[in-house]
Structure 1
Amino acid sequence: MKGPTLTELSNRARDIFRLVVEGYIASGQPVGSKTLAGAGGVNLSPASIRSVLQELQDAGLLAAPHTSAGRMPTEIGLRLFVDGIMQVAEPSAAERAQIERGLERGRERSLAAGGTIEAALAAATSALSELSAGAGVIMVPRREPRLVQLSFVPLSPVRALAVLVAEDGGVENRVIDLPAPLAPFMLEQASNYLTARLAGRTLGEALAVIRAEIDGGRSALDAASADLVQRGLAIWSMDGAQRPVLVVRGQANLLDEAALGDLERVRQLLDELENAEAIAGVLDAAREAEATRIFIGSENRLFSLSGSSVIASPWRDGEGRVVGVVGVIGPTRLNYARVVPMVDFTAQSLGKLIGQDGFSRK
C-alpha cells in the first residue's frame, strides 16, 4: 500500500501525525488524543483530534493496536516521516567525544595486537550501541593480502591445484576444473604470466590489470591459457567477498522496558541477529550509497518478521574507496533523527582512523 504524500495532508493532519510519530519514538507506546490535546501547538478538542487520527489511520499512516485507544505509525507512516518531516541534527559534542574516545581506545588495542582492525571495529559498534540504544553493527571485507606468486600444479588432464602465496607468508590452495585438457607447459605459462603481473598487488588489483590486458588483446596468452588465468583469480576474489568481518554489539539493548510487551518480536530479532551472512547482505546494500540509508521493517526481507529498522552508512578510506559499512539495528521506533547523524559521524571517524599509519586489517 502506498500512502499519501505530505502535500496531500492538511496542516493540522501533518502536525498531529508528527506528534504521534515523535511521541511513539520517545515512549514506544501508542499516542492517544488526550496526550495530543495536552501537547503544545495543538489547538483542537480531543474529539477533533480523534477525527484527524482516524483520517490518518484510513490513509495507512497510523495504526490502532487492539489493546489501546492510541495510535502508532505504520511502516508507511515512518517512511513518510523519515523522508519528509524528520529534522536531522548534528551529534552533540558529548556524543562525538564518546564515539572518538571509543575508537581511539579500539585503535590502541588494535595496535597492541599487531595493527589488526578488529578491536577498532568492536569499539565503533559498542559506542554506537550505547548511544543509540540499539545493536551496533559493522562490516568490512577481509583484508586482501599482497601477493607474491600464483602457480598451477596439474592433478589430472582436466583438474589443477592453484597455489596462492602472499607477502605475509600465507599459502592457500584451491582445486579448479580446467576448461579443457591442458598440457603442463600451458599451466606453467599461465603461472609465469600471473606471477609477473600480480606480485605486490591484491587479488582485486591483479584481476583488474589482467582482465584489461586480455580484453584489450595485449596478452600473449592463447584463449585456453587466458581462460585458466581468469578462473584462477576468480576463485579467490569470489571467496574473499563472501567472508566479510562482521561485528555486532549491544543486543541486550533491545531488551528494554518498552520491548517487554512484545517479547516474540524481540526474540525474532535476536534470532535474526545470529544470521551473520544475512546481516552482511543487508549492510552490503548500503555500500554504494552516497549517504546514510534507512531500511524500515519489511523494506528489508531479513528483518520483516521482527519489524525492525536498519540505519547504515558506508565508510571510506583516504582515497574515497568504500571500505565497509557501519550501522545500527533496532526496533522501528528508533530515534532516526538522532541516530542517523551518529552513524554518519562514526563512518567518517572510522575512515580517518583506518588511514593512520600502522593500522591494517588481517
Structure 2
Amino acid sequence: MTQPVAELSDRARAVFRVVVESYLGSGAPVGSRTISRLSGLNLSPASIRNVMQDLEELGLLAAPHVSAGRMPTETGLRLFVDGMMQAAEPSAEERAAIEQQLVQRGGPIEDALAAATAALSGLSACAGIVMVPKREPVLAQFGFVPLSPGRALAVLVGTDGTVENRVVDVPPGTSSSTLNQAANYVSARLSGYTLAEAQARLRAELSQGHAALDAAAHDLVERGLAIWSEDGASRPVLIVRGQANLIDQAAAADLERVRQLLDELEDKEEIARLLEGARHAPATRIFIGSENKLFSLSGSSVIAAPWHDAEGHVVGVIGVIGPTRLNYARVVPMVDFTAKTLSRLMA
C-alpha cells in the first residue's frame, strides 16, 4: 500500500520531490550532492543521505547500484503522481497543434484521430494511442471484380467516401452477369444501410420472395456482406503512432527494455483491453509499470483518458505510452486536453 503523503515529514517530502523531479527530467539516479545543490534545503549531503535512506526503507526510493544515487520506485512514482505533482497546462502552441489536426478533417474519422494521435505523440515524446470507435460502414456502392476462377475482389464504398477491398471465394464458373447482378442488387436495394442492417434486409426480402436474385447472386451477396462483418468484428480498433519517440538517448543504455516495449506495442488486442480500463474513468487514468500486466516487463507507463459524444457517452480512449520516467506533470494535462478537445469537436 502506498505511503500517504501526509505521513512524510516536511524534510522527507522536500527531498523526495527533488529526487523524483530530477529523475523524471534526466532519467538518471540522483545523488545527495546533486540534491544539496538543487533543493535549497540548507541540508548537508550527510543529512540528505539519511533522509534518502528512510525513503528507501519506506519503499519509495531505490538504489540501482551500491554507489549510485537514488531513483523513485513505482510505488514512489504513484505517491508523487497522486499526491505531490503540480500539473503544467499545455501551452497555447501545444493546444493549437492538437486542435488543428482535428478541425482540418474532411475524410474518415480514423484519419483525423491518427493525425491527432501523431501530434500528441510528438508533443509528449511518447507513443500515441487511440481506441477508435467501433463503427460499421454504411453502404453506398458495392461491386465485384473477377480475379481468377473461384476468386473475386469485393469492393465496398461507404457513404463517408471510404473504399475497402476484400478478396472473396466464389463458386467456379461464376459468370460476369452473376457478379453484376449481385453488385447491382446491393447498390440498389441495400444502399444507406449498415452491414448488419443490410444482412437483415436481405433475409427479409428473400423470406418474402421480394428479392430479384437467383441462387448464385444471392450467395455472392451473402458472402460479400459476411466477409466485412467478420473482419470488422475481429479487427483491433486501435491506432498507434510515434513508436520511434521511445528510442531516445536515455533509452540507448537500456535497449532490451525498449525492444520489449516495442514488442508489447505489437499486441494491439492487449492494448485495447488495457485501454478499456480507462473508458469509464471520471478523469485521466495513469498506469505505472507493473500496475498493468501488459507493460510490466518493459517498465512502461500508460496515460489515457476517455472521450465522449454529444450525449456524454464514451466513444473511445486516447493516450500515450512511454517510460516510467516520463514527465507526468506535462503529459497528463496534455492527454486530458486532447480527450476534451475530441469530445468537443467530434460530437
- 1:34 is aligned to 33
Aligned with residue 271 of structure 1, among 248, 258, 263: 263
CA displacement 1:192-230 (0-9 Å, x = unmatched):
xxxxxxx978979xxxxxxxxxxxxxxxxxxxxxxxxxx
Indicate if the aligned counterparts of 1:141 and 1:244 stay in contact, CA closer than 8 A: no
Question: How many Å separate the matches in 2 of 1:328 and 1:354?
Answer: 20
CA displacement 1:99-122 (0-9 Å, x = unmatched):
1123334x1xxx2xxx31121111
TM-score (normalizing by structure 2) = 0.73
Aligned with residue 341 of structure 1, among 327, 333, 341: 333
Structure 1 residues 62 and 91: CA distance shift in structure 2, 3 A: same
Question: How many Å separate the matches in 2 of 1:34 and 1:260?
Answer: 26
Indicate if the aligned counterparts of 2:136 and 2:194 stay in contact, CA closer than 8 A: no
CA displacement 1:172-191 (0-9 Å, x = unmatched):
9xxxxxxxxxxxxxxxxxxx
- 2:100 is aligned to 101
Structure 1 residues 354 and 241: CA distance shift in structure 2, 3 A: farther
**Aligned amino acid, residue 258 of structure 1:** A
Question: How many Å separate the matches in 2 of 1:293 and 1:347?
Answer: 12
- 2:214 is aligned to none
Q: In angstroms, what is the RMSD of aligned CA positions?
A: 3.1
Is structure 2 residue 23 aligned with structure 1 residue 24? yes
Question: How many Å separate the matches in 2 of 1:43 and 1:247?
Answer: 49
CA displacement 1:17-55 (0-9 Å, x = unmatched):
011000000001111101000013311000000000011
Query: Structure 2: where are the runs of 5+ without partners?
Result: 140-156, 167-191, 198-227
Aligned-pair identity in percent equals 68
Structure 1 residues 241 and 301: CA distance shift in structure 2, 3 A: farther
Is structure 2 residue 136 aligned with structure 1 residue 137? no
- Map 1:269-308 onto structure 2 (within 5 A): 269-308=261-300
- 2:112 is aligned to 120
- 1:91 is aligned to 90
Aligned length: 278
- 1:196 is aligned to none
Is structure 2 residue 258 aligned with structure 1 residue 259? no
Structure 1 residues 3 and 321: CA distance shift in structure 2, 3 A: closer
Structure 1 residues 342 and 118: CA distance shift in structure 2, 3 A: same
TM-score (normalizing by structure 1) = 0.70
Query: Structure 1: where are the runs of 5+ without partners?
Result: 148-165, 173-198, 205-235, 356-362
**Aligned amino acid, residue 22 of structure 2:** G
